[in-house]
Structure 1
Amino acid sequence: MNNQNVFMIGWEYPPHNSGGLGVACKGLTEALSQDQTTIQFALPYHFSQGVDHMKIISCVDPTWEERLGQKVLYPPFASYSSDGVIRSFVTAKDSLSPEKLRLLPHSELEQRVQEYARVIGSRSGSIEKHTDVIHAHDWMSFPAAQTLKKKTGKPFIAHVHSTEYDRAGLNQGNHFISHIEHEGMTQADRVIAVSYYTKSLLVNKYGIDAQKIDVAHNGASSPESQPNPGNHHFAQKRPVVVFMGRLTLHKGVQYFIQLAQSVLASIPNALFIVAGSGDMYHELLLTSATRHLSASVLFSGFVRSEQRDTLLDRADVFVMPSISEPFGLVAVEAAQRHTPVIISKNAGVSEVLHGAVALDFWDLDKMTTAIKELILDPNHSRKVVSNQLNDLEHITWGNAATKVKQSYLRAILGK
């Protein structure tokens, strides 16, 4: 059964994405569409951009729109997007990013996900006729998928890109969201985890049967431009160390500031760049200032596309000290730019990017040493880059799509 019809339920899609979830949805759907898979992709907002490889369905409750009024909830995009993109995203009204959604009061959070489920459920008749399997991405979409499964009898795949335990830094986090995740995975016919690290969390923290979980590591799309590691248009003659990601607890960005202080003690001209936005931004600024690091630790804000590539090209070292990272696609993007990468052992990407330097996120002494070695020893740096490039040959969305289709078949056949 090669040709499969899939109804996917997402929450974000580029260019209206706040992080890796939207990027992963784009890469995976493009690869699936090239492998005889027909996709309808539901979003909780109006999407006006053209997408060639699948049909995007805007599932918006008109009464929700009237009640909420028009709001712009992604202000960081304003400086990086065209007016057309901003206008089209304003028409999404109040479609919160996954990170902002989980911070809502319980009652409003429940209302958002249930409204999405109700709107999608109202389309069950047409969906049933043209669907072999329902594929939902992360907890925001699970209630909608459960509703569709009940109405259509079609098998439901729960694709876990992150868990509430990850987002809360391996703590309990939001109990309501954890409950949604548990219920969704329990009712799903199959569960897809983005790494074996995530699979272990699903088994140990949520009690999901390991036999029910398939692992499909994320892939990486080809870079839009060729790597230019000699691109030294800024910070000339200064070694540059980069963190890139959301400024939240589980990303370990607080450790990056500590690493900066340690490395600067012996390499005082090093420059540390924090690229991203998030709820820890002001706290990190204050920490940097009180430690007298403001001249050596720069905060660039959210970056994408050309700015991201330029920064990664310039970096002498990329560091991802996550407390808990289901995958960590940005580490692959750094490797694509020929930048040596240091990653946390608590990151799913360590299972496929073997050439990177993998260390415990809490072992700041070893991380400090690793950063200094990559800065001071060009031969060591080149060797790490070479090993990473060998790994990249196997980190593809095509490989991910093959594993996802195998999961579809198991769900359809009831295995």
Structure 2
Amino acid sequence: MIKTYDDAVKLLTSVGKFHISLGLDRISKILDLLGNPQDKLNCVHVAGTNGKGSVCAILASILKSAGQKVGLYSSPHIFKYTERIQICGNKIPEDEFAKYVFEISDLADENNIDLTEFELLTAVMFKYFADKDVDVVVLETGLGGRYDATNVIKRNLCSIITHVDYDHMERLGNTIDKIASEKAGIIKPNCPCIVFEGREVYRDVTDKLGSLLLMVAPFAPTDGLALKGLYQQENLSLALACIETIFPEISKDEIDEGLRNVKHICRFQYIPEFNLIIDGAHNPNGIASLKQSLDAYYPNKYRRFIFGCLKNKDYEHMVQSLFDSGDEIYFYHFKHQNSCTVEDLQAVCPIESKELTQDTKIDFKDDKLNIICGSFYMISELVDRFGIDIEE
């Protein structure tokens, strides 16, 4: 019986797979059985609290414009798992995705290797990209760095560490220094590392490993960049520094073409038909960046928010920093086992709010700027419900 994409999704989201368990033992064992496809790939490895997905998208777009066969691995997905594994902007076909998922899952079961969802996806990605003989892989970490499944690679073309802030503290540590130390785990011997924050741990690790540490100013002009949001200055600065350092042969025209064509949905994405901003900000720093961009781009617009988040996030800080008096606020309890309840959100919100229920009517055509934010995991539910077309 042929296994389908839907079958693969059921496997990946099953109780036995859908959890986080950091470490490199399991991913190393399964990749060894697969012939270590990761060793055949040239990777740019990107870690950080916020911005790493945008950096990856920018890099992949520029490399594609320069004629490279570029693989992109990112997370999470908004609509389908196939978004996570792309070659030159083309998602892995659903039938191939299912084939790889079950081949690798069966191999793991035969050898008593209990892979998590992310480890299985990461193994699929490495095998798929190696089989397709890609030139470069732009590789986004899932969580942290040191013990993230993507960090099974022995070398990289370059490591990039974006802004580091408080998130996943139960796994990465409760101070910025501890979190940054986990991110610095992706730095490899004699491989350059690009940052824009001058943290001591980056210097210590690169000195120890004999790696070049390049610190860039986070002020690249974003006029020609398709992605919006003030925070894209930082992300673009890191991406351009990588291109200049690792791919100096790429021309300005190719860079400009890549910047015009980059796509990264649900990152300060404006949907004009609904006068709507969709942003995946899901931690205090991301919310602060969103608020800063809203104030800069839309300083005099009345705002309507639809907000939901996971209960393991610092939602009190997020809620209290995002909203202003006069904002219309709807809280949403979405279909995720860790979705925060409306009651918990309302308890920490200093401004009057309402629950978004199945009966709530939203007039997207009035003069208010609409914003959906707080979690990537609720976006697909809301765009389906309201009939919002997001160009992928």
TM-score normalised over the length of structure 2: 0.35
Q: Give the helix-richer structure, 1 or 2.
A: 1
